[in-house]
Structure 1
Amino acid sequence: MRPLTSYLSGTSITQRVLRGSAISGMGYFLSQGIRLASNLILTRLLFPDAFGLMALVTMFVLGVVMMTDVGLTPSIMQSKRGDDPKFLNTAWSVKMMLHGFYFVVICLLAWPAAQFYDAPQLVQLMPAVGASLLIGGLVSPNIEHAMRHIRLGMVTKIDLASQAASVAAMVLFALATRSIWALVFGQFVAAGVKAALTRHYLPGPATRFEMDRDALHELIHFGKWITLSSACGFVLSQGDKAVLGKYLSLEQLGVYNIGFFLASFPMALAENITGRTIIPVYRDSPPQESAQNFATVRRMRMGLSAIVMSMIAVMALGGPWIIDLLYDIRYQGAGPIVALIACAQVPVVLGMTYPQAALAAGDSRSPSLLTMLRAGVQIAAFLIGAEMGGLAGAIIGQMLAGWVLHLFIIRLAIRHRVWDPLHDALFAAVGLLVTFAGMSHMVIGG
């Protein structure tokens, strides 16, 4: 272990990424462990319709945030001025104004949302959760500064501490009230703890309100395409709930949300690691510049894809059994949902780092247009599949769309000279085998 520890403490890009990936991976596993434990407790204290309501609230809150996201985190991570206090202060000042805007818009949407989904409680729930974003705006930009340099130890500790505090608050509140407001209270605690910890324990320049004209221009220039990408990303991540929320009961939506939580774990882990480490890799070791850089990136992608695909296989084959084991009878309809969603994520694994390569090169336009295409195609496939085969047909439609869309992701990778055909061919074969095994297991299992 000593040689391994010594190697991981180095300062090369490979060592920093391996160290950062290990920290992010372990942190994410701990985070999901905490989330799963709280989920198991809260599903026994609250009824499924509470989770259905919170799925709708989360959908609207994420919609407002992602529709107006200007990409402050990737801007800081890729910019040559990412270490400049003026740049960081300007980014934080923009974030503060955005969070105030989020709160106002969420309040305005509360009543129409309640009418559309016939859920009167949204009138109170949405503004309450929106208010927690005001506290979230106080989070220091030093967290993005640390991610820029792949210093993820303290970042991970802060994330875990805020999550643990939130879970404790939710469980205690739910024990006392058996009310959905326990879930809302947890949002406030998480935001407050994270804001306090980033300001007191993360090294970096002191944060103050500042508007540097050049920094603002750079943020807007880079972020204008991120806004489009983020808006389309919302459609990708929440479009299913927007559609299903209209056609399923709140109880059924709550069961679906439980299944989605479990099945999305592998890709959520991958996105957590790639979002924190891959842009610096492509920035500092562009694969197109040397065979050594290409080999370095290939090794990282192979390792990450192997881990994610293994977890997808576990969910595709064992998801229904895991649901039966962990949850009570009210949630056991989520079993087949876990298996189907896991299979639908297989094609996404193949190209999950290529958009970061474009962002590292300063190209925010191409990934944004790609995300817009993905959003349109996958939601169309979801709706067509739903018409033809209900919920199962909708998820299968998304899976087929994912395989088609990978061709466009390859085109983006070729344009930036980062395509790795060996990686894609190998994991396409493994992914198809996992999908076939998962679907066959479901058919045999009845």
Structure 2
Amino acid sequence: MFNAVKRELDLARKLMAFSILRLIAQVVGIGLPLLIAKFFSEQIFGSFSLTKMIVFLAVTFTTGITRTPFIVYASEEIEESGKINKTFSIQLIFLFCGIITATIAFLVFHTPIAKFAGITTTDLIFAFVAFLGIAGKFFFCNLLMAMGKQIRNGIAELTYACSSVIIIILFHIFDNLTLRTVFLSYFLSTVLLFLTQGWILDIRLLLPFQIDLSLLKKTIDFAKWIFLAAIATYLINWGDNIVLKIFVSLKEIGIYNFGYQVFKSLVFSIGIIPQYFLPFIAANISNSAKIRNYLYSKRPKILALGCLVWLIAFFGIPFAIKLVYGSKFSESIPIFQILSIAILFSLYLTFYAPVYNALKKYRFTTFVAIAQITFNLLFAFILVPYYGIKGAAIATVIAFGVKLIVFEFHYRRYLKKRFSK
């Protein structure tokens, strides 16, 4: 009994430390675009947002589609052999192929991409450098999660976020803050991350380089469904901009993205929860008692705390925006408040994510992601012509509501009995 309580307290302590580190890193990281918005006009911030949209599309192809398979299979491999060299080797292959594919895409489509974002070709070159930096950062942080180093992952995320902010401030101090130097800062931050945190990696767990064809096949099978889900998730995060680009100005896109950036910071903070629990759930998915404890003991407590934080954010963030930006982004406040309804939906759903990933229910999660983005884009096309950028926010809330309904129905219909035994 004493040992069980001790383990529970130890898990809670680690979750708290991990959550605090990731939350601070998330706040600092999300604060970076908001800091940039302080120095740029709404129109330039709109161009920055559209360019960042393109960069993260490349990142999704490079590291996004293999992140979850990497963590799941690495957790299984380290349980069996005490190493993750096979999983790591496959991850390196995916990273290399992703960078090559992104390079070709940037070379072939540089003109339409630059025109879409309202930037020059030279600006786009710096955006590609930003892509390399962001992809490298995600690869490093994913590796730490795969090795079970959640706390170290939080430290690495915080190091990267703080480095980015410091570099941006230095560029501003020396009167050299432009879109190009902003993009360059993402790469420089990754260089600093590797220099300061690279020693954390235990090379013995990663070597020798070995290709396991059966594991490669399983990873590809997992990733092909994650690919569709990742693209759908990407469109959920950035698809509004595609519709807005058709109907509104760059200035309005900047205003919308400012509000959406604040909303996304809270959603990403919620995402800390499944990221932390995924290795544990993957290793114990056959243990109904532990899964029940996760769903019916830990979840309600964390959910209650999350609702309290949401309430504070709903009223506190608009005040902070007015205090820092004055009237510059005042039109972003109602955008955030509309989107904040979707935060509650996301908070409730986030506890299902590690369970579905551990069960490899990627076909279902892919279907849900596709349904969500379909509803999002459909309602955006319907509402934006009449309600402008508020229409895009309403469409996002509707899409999150659809996701909640589908997930809850599926869990109660197909999985609840499995963990009630």
Interval containing the TM-score (normalised by the shorter chain): 0.7 to 0.9
Q: Shift in Å at residue 7 of structure 1?
A: 9.4
Deviates more, 1:15-24 or 1:381-390: 15-24
- Closer/same/farther in 2, CA of residues 331 and 295 from structure 1, 3 Å limit: same
Report Cα offsets for 1:306-352 as digits up to 9, x if no partner: 23322332333344322111213322221211211112332232222
Q: Shift in Å at residue 284 of structure 1?
A: 3.5
Q: Distance in 2 between matches of 1:74 and 1:109?
A: 29
Unaligned runs of 5+ in 1: 1-5, 421-446
Q: Shift in Å at residue 229 of structure 1?
A: 0.5
1:190 is matched with 189
Q: Shift in Å at residue 225 of structure 1?
A: 0.5
1:185 corresponds to which letter in structure 2? L
1:424 is matched with none
Q: Shift in Å at residue 419 of structure 1?
A: 8.3
2:42 corresponds to which letter in structure 1? P
Q: Distance in 2 between matches of 1:24 and 1:139?
A: 18
Q: Distance in 2 between matches of 1:250 and 1:133?
A: 22
2:214 is matched with 214
- Closer/same/farther in 2, CA of residues 88 and 15 from structure 1, 3 Å limit: farther
Contact 2:263 2:336 in 1 (8 A): yes
1:278 aligns with 2:277: yes
Contact 1:67 1:228 in 2 (8 A): no
Contact 2:30 2:265 in 1 (8 A): no
Q: Distance in 2 between matches of 1:299 and 1:171?
A: 44
Deviates more, 1:367-376 or 1:277-286: 277-286
Structure of higher RCO (CA pairs closer than 8 Å, 6+ residues apart)? 2
Q: Shift in Å at residue 26 of structure 1?
A: 0.9
2:187 corresponds to which letter in structure 1? F
Contact 1:68 1:231 in 2 (8 A): no
Q: Distance in 2 between matches of 1:70 and 1:172?
A: 30
Contact 2:69 2:219 in 1 (8 A): yes
Over aligned residues, Cα RMSD in angstroms?
Answer: 3.1
Q: Shift in Å at residue 93 of structure 1?
A: 2.7
1:54 aligns with 2:53: no
Contact 2:22 2:269 in 1 (8 A): yes
Q: Shift in Å at residue 134 of structure 1?
A: 3.5
Q: Shift in Å at residue 71 of structure 1?
A: 3.3
Aligned length: 409
Equivalent residue in structure 1 for 2:357, among 338, 352, 359: 359
Report Cα offsets for 1:128-158 as digits up to 9, x if no partner: 2223433555569674454246432222112
Contact 1:316 1:342 in 2 (8 A): yes
User: Could you tell me the TM-score, scaled by structure 2's length?
Assistant: 0.85
Deviates more, 1:182-191 or 1:147-156: 147-156
Contact 1:138 1:195 in 2 (8 A): no
User: Could you tell me the TM-score, scaled by structure 1's length?
Assistant: 0.81
Q: Shift in Å at residue 223 of structure 1?
A: 1.0
Q: Distance in 2 between matches of 1:162 and 1:70?
A: 18
Contact 1:169 1:186 in 2 (8 A): yes
Q: Distance in 2 between matches of 1:146 and 1:39?
A: 25
2:228 is matched with 228
Equivalent residue in structure 1 for 2:77, among 68, 74, 81: 81
Q: Distance in 2 between matches of 1:394 and 1:140?
A: 29
Deviates more, 1:396-405 or 1:133-142: 133-142
Q: Shift in Å at residue 100 of structure 1?
A: 2.7
2:113 is matched with 113
Q: Distance in 2 between matches of 1:285 and 1:328?
A: 50
2:387 is matched with 389
| 1:86-235 aligned within 5 A | 86-116=86-116, 119-121=118-120, 123-135=121-133, 143-148=141-146, 150-175=148-173, 176-204=175-203, 205-206=205-206, 211-235=211-235
Unaligned runs of 5+ in 2: none
Contact 1:91 1:216 in 2 (8 A): no
Contact 1:344 1:402 in 2 (8 A): yes
Percent pairwise identity: 16
Q: Distance in 2 between matches of 1:382 and 1:346?
A: 20
Contact 1:61 1:126 in 2 (8 A): no
1:55 corresponds to which letter in structure 2? S
- Closer/same/farther in 2, CA of residues 245 and 212 from structure 1, 3 Å limit: same
Contact 1:143 1:155 in 2 (8 A): yes
Contact 1:96 1:137 in 2 (8 A): no
Equivalent residue in structure 1 for 2:22, among 13, 17, 28: 28
1:373 is matched with 371
